[in-house]
Amino acid sequence: MTGVITRATAVPAPGLPDRVTIYEVGPRDGLQNEQAVVPVAVKEEFVRRLLAAGLPLVEATSFVHPRWVPQLADAADLMTRLGADGLDCPVLVPNERGLDRALELGLRHVAVFASATEAFAAKNLNRTLETQFAMFEPTVERALAAGLDVRAYVSMCFGDPWEGPVAPEQVVGVGQRLLAMGATQLSLGDTIGVGTAGHVTALVEAFTAAGTPLDRLALHFHDTYGQALSNVQAGLRAGVTTYDASAGGLGGCPYAESATGNLATEDLVWLLDGLGIEHGVDLGALVATSSWMAGQLGRPSPSAVVRALAQSTS
C-alpha cells in the first residue's frame, strides 16, 4: 500500500497574501450546536490541544444564558480551568451580563454577535435590526474602557433563510456602525453557506469602497453548498487575511436550521499550504485533535482532510 501524502505541495499564486491568521471557533461555534452536552474536561482538553497545534486565536466559549445555549452553560467553569492559558482566548459576550462574567475572570478578548438582517435579529437577538445596536453599545464601550479587545460578528451577510439574498450595502451599514463603536475587527459570516466567490468579492469591495481597511475584516464561511474553500480563495484575492474556521468542521448555528458545518480548519490549512501561504498551524497535531474530538462525539469528522489524514496521524 502506498503512503499517505500529509502535506499539500506548495505552488504559490501571484497576488495573494504571504500570511493569514486562522481564528479557530470550534470550541464555541462548533460545540454550541451539539445535541449532547460535552463534558467540561473534554472542552478544556480540546482548547489546550488547539493552542498546542499553533492556532493563535481559539475562541473558547460564550457567556450566553444557558436557557438559549445549554451546551455552553459551563463557560465560567471552562475558563477557570484553563487559567492563565485561557486569558487570551476570545469569548462571545451577547450583552453586559456576559461581559461582567468575562471581566470577573480577567479575560482579554471578547466578541459581540450582530445580524445583517431584520429576521435574524428578531430570531437570534429578540431585537430589530436597529435596536440591536442599543444592546451592543454599552457592552463594547465598557469592554474597551477596561482595555479589552472587541471583535464583532455579523451574521447572514450573504443570504437569510427568511429574507433571501442580502445586499452588500446592507451588510456594510451594519458593519460600519459596529466599527464606529470601537470593534477592532468584523467577522463577516455566511451563516447558511449560500455565498459564492463573486458575492464574496463584491462584499469585500463594498467595505473597502466605504473606507474599511482590509485588516479590519475577517471572513467566516459555512460549507453547506460546498463553496467554503472557493470563497476563501476569493477572499484571499481580495486581500483579506483573517479567516474563521472550526477544527474538524464542527458546528453550525442553533437559530438557523439550514446552517450546517463551518469551514474545517484542516481543509483551510491544506488550501493555504498548497498556495504557499504561512499560517503557523501544525496540521498533523490539528488532525489528531479533530480525530480525538470526533471520537468523543461518537461520529466521523466532516472534514475531508481529517478523513484523509486521520489514519496517518493516529
* pLDDT above 80 (res 255): no
| Type of residue at 272 | L
* pLDDT above 90 (res 48): yes
| Type of residue at 2 | T
Up-side HSE of residue 195: CA atoms within 13 Å toward CB?
36
What residue ranges in 66-148 does DSSP mark as E strands?
Answer: 91-92, 109-115
Reading the block at residue 215, the C-alpha cell is 485588516
* 175-181: average pLDDT: 98
- What DSSP string describes 8-71? PPP---TTS-SB-EEEE-IIIIIGGG-SSPPPHHHHHHHHHHHHHTT-SEE--EE---TTT-GG
**277-282 LR contacts (CB < 8 Å, sep 24+):** 277/12, 277/16, 277/17, 277/18, 277/19, 277/20, 277/236, 278/18, 278/19, 278/20, 279/19, 279/20, 279/21, 279/22, 280/54, 280/56, 281/22, 281/53, 281/54, 281/55, 282/53, 282/54
pLDDT for the residue numbered 34? 83
Distances (CA, A) of 83 to 50, 101, 146, 274: 16, 14, 19, 36
* 169-188: average pLDDT: 98
* Of 67-71, 128-132, 191-195, 205-209, the least confident: 67-71
* pLDDT above 70 (res 2): no
| Dihedral sign (CA 186, 64, 75, 77) | positive
pLDDT band at 170 (very low <50, low <70, confident <90, very high): very high
* 251-269: average pLDDT: 72
* 120-135: average pLDDT: 93
Exposure of 44 by Cβ count < 10 A (0-12 exposed, 13-18 middle, 19+ buried)?
A: buried
Q: Provide the mean pLDDT of the chain.
A: 93
* pLDDT above 50 (res 254): no
pLDDT in tens, 12-34: 999 999 999 999 999 999 998 88
CA 75 to chain centre: 17
Residue 205, H or E segment = helix 197-209
| Rounded-to-integer distance, Cα 161 and Cα 33, Å | 18
pLDDT for the residue numbered 65? 85
Q: For residue 271, how many other CB atoms are within 10 A of its CB?
A: 20
pLDDT in tens, 229-252: 999 999 999 999 999 999 999 985
SS3 4: coil
| 92, β-bridge pairs | 62, 111
Q: Yes or no: say if 151 and 189 are a contact pair by the CB < 8 Å rule.
A: no
pLDDT band at 312 (very low <50, low <70, confident <90, very high): low
In the chain, count of helices (H) and strands (E)?
11, 11
Q: For residue 128, how many other CB atoms are within 10 A of its CB?
A: 13
Task: Say what percent of the chain tops pLDDT 90.
Answer: 86
| Rounded-to-integer distance, Cα 257 and Cα 288, Å | 29
* pLDDT above 70 (res 253): no
| Rounded-to-integer distance, Cα 62 and Cα 74, Å | 9
pLDDT band at 68 (very low <50, low <70, confident <90, very high): confident
Distances (CA, A) of 99 to 57, 68, 233: 19, 17, 35
Question: What 8-state DSSP symbol labels residue 122?
Answer: I
C-alpha dihedral, 153 to 158 to 172 to 277, nearest 10°:
70
| Rounded-to-integer distance, Cα 176 and Cα 168, Å | 12
Active site residues: 253
Question: Model pTM?
Answer: 0.95
